[in-house]
Each structure stands twice: as structure tokens, then as C-alpha cells.
Chain A
Amino acid sequence: MLLGTLGKKLGMTQMISEDGIVNAVTAVDVTPSTIVQIKTLDRDGYEKIQLGYGEANKISKPLQGHMKDLGEFRYLREVPVKDSSDHSLGDIVTADVFSVGDKISITGTSKGKGFAGPIKRYHFKGGPKSHGQKDKHRAPGSIGAGTTPGRVWKGQRMAGHMGMEKVTVRNLQIAAIDLESNIILVKGAVPGPPGNLLILRKKAERTL
């Protein structure tokens, strides 16, 4: 049983339940993906399924060899699986791996913020806005003590690159599924801008 699929963020809107409660929802495009490779415990050391998603403009020869005649996919990502023996190469995966009400995790790339200062990046307070202050409203302040230790500690939070990193949001609930247009509505927000590749995963039941 497959426990996930790939999708693309479409955008957000709101949904009103029958008792009048308004929820913010994200629409995710889950155009069917294809099973390209099955990773098994014996051969690879772990059990996962590699899916191909989206259309590629151009693919390299090595990738062509990997995908064979299954299609030309833009993205290849692995999703968890419970017993991979009921799947075979070339199988089509649609949104029906999920059902309404399921709790899922969504992994994607967050929006890039560029080189960000410490206020935006680590929620520093910044300097005073008045009382004779000049040019230090968004400065980080002190970054350490004096002669002892005589250096700056490793891990000191400073300005730097922010965003555009892998982010997973857990416990998102599926609000609606449309198998005809291949769209899933998820309660809450999802990482990245519209058009972002997303990996949707159901939590694997723990086998004790």
C-alpha cells in the first residue's frame, strides 16, 4: 500500500463547513505520477517507492536509461510504502492513496528570502527607535563577551541566507479530494510559492 504521492502547490482559498466554520485551505495539484523504481530491503536496505512526476523539457541520457519507456519526468522523488510487493513498475499513482480526513505530512521548499538580517531571520528585537539612536535600528547588537573568551562562540546567530530550504509541515488534514481534476484540498498552509513541488506522505502505521 502506497503511503504518499507527489504534487504541486496551486494556491490558497477558504472553505466553509456546513455549520459555518471558515477554514483556510491550500489546493494541491496531484496529477497522476508513475512508479519508476521500487527500492527493496534486500537490494537497497530500505523500502520506498520512487515516483516520476511532471513533464520534463529535456532529460539526460543516464536519466533516460533510468526511466526507460515509462515517460519523461521532471521530478523523481521517493515516498514511503507499506509492502511494496503489490506494486510494479509503471503503475499510475493518483490522489486515491488518501481519503478525506487523513492526517498527512507535506514536504516542500520554502520561499527564498535572500540574505536576511537578524531581525527577520531570528526575530531579534533590534535597537531603540528613538532616544538619540542613529543607524542601529536593525543591528544585531553585541555578539559576545570581551577578553574571555576572546572569540565569538560557534553558532552565534547572525545575518545570512534565509528560506529556500526543505520544510516539512506535519498533521495537515485533507479537506477534500477530487479525482477528476486531480486536486486535493488541505487544511492549513504548505511551504513555498504556488508551483512548488510537494511530497505528500501519510504516516506509516508502526509495526511492532
Chain B
Amino acid sequence: MPDISHLLKMKDRTDLEEVNPGDTVRIHWQVVEGNRTRTQVYQGFVLRIKKGGANASLTVRRVFQDIGVERTFLFSNPRLERIEVVRRGSVRRAKLYYLRGRTGRAARIKEKVSPRK
């Protein structure tokens, strides 16, 4: 298929902070309620990042009231206001599906220690 990105009216999202799988993030998401919009914040860790230009997305997992919740956000969606990285995680795979079956101590992610400059 030829390049049709100009037709999709994609927004340039270079304003977003770089995230990696395992990072704990706060997603600032615009919610429309009637004719008002407000920003909702959703916090969790990045389970996976799907690449693919216009369709690139990230999935954020959190455990809320003992129920695992996963939400997927398209990077190019204009409702995605901001991604705030709370903590950088150190993980050895790109997709962290193995964490789905784990709770408590087993579900921890080590913090990434950045090398001294």
C-alpha cells in the first residue's frame, strides 16, 4: 500500500515523552462529558508498546480493587494529552505478558538505574 499518512491527518506526536515497557506512567486522557472536557489520569505500568506508524499504541496495566485492568492508547489520538513517566523500570523483554498471572511480590518490576554521567 502506498504511503497515505498525509490523508489520515496524523498529528505529529513528538511532544510525547519517550516510554519503554516496564515504566510506570500516568496517562493524561481527555474525557468529554456532555460539552465539557476534563483530564482523567490513569496510572499503571506499560505492558507493551505496539509499533506501526499511524496505529502505534501502548497498553497500560494496573490492578484496581483486585481486578487487573488494561487500557490501550493510540499514540496518535489527540485525546492523549500527556504521558508522564513516574518510574523507569528495568525489564528484559519487550512484551510483559508474563506479569499478567502474577500478584504481589512476584509482580514487581525492578527500577532502572541509569548510568552515572
**Which residues in A have some Cβ–Cβ distance to B below 8 Å?**
10-11, 13-16, 18-20, 22, 27, 29, 176, 178, 181, 183, 185, 194
Contact = CB atoms under 8 A, between A and B. Distances in A.
A13 B8 contact: yes
B78 interface: yes
Nearest to B79: A20
Nearest to A185: B7
Given A18-B78, A20-B77, A22-B74, A13 B4 contact: yes
B54 A14 contact: yes
A27 B76 contact: no
Contacts, number: 47
Contacts of B74: 16, 22
Contacts of B9: 15, 176
17 contacts: A10-B1, A13-B54, A14-B54, A15-B9, A16-B8, A16-B77, A19-B32, A20-B77, A20-B78, A20-B79, A178-B6, A178-B7, A181-B4, A183-B2, A183-B7, A185-B8, A194-B1
A13 B55 contact: yes
Nearest to A9: B1
Nearest to B54: A13
Contacts of A178: 4, 6-7
A16 B55 CA distance: 10
Chain B contact residues: over half helix, strand or loop, or mixed? loop
A16 B9 CA distance: 8
A19 B79 CA distance: 7
Interface of B: 1-2, 4, 6-10, 30, 32, 54-55, 74, 76-79
A20 B30 contact: yes
Contacts of A183: 2, 4, 7
Given A13-B4, A13-B54, A14-B55, 9 more contacts: A13-B8, A15-B8, A18-B78, A20-B78, A22-B74, A27-B7, A29-B2, A176-B9, A185-B4
Contacts of B1: 10-11, 13, 27, 194
A178 B4 CA distance: 9
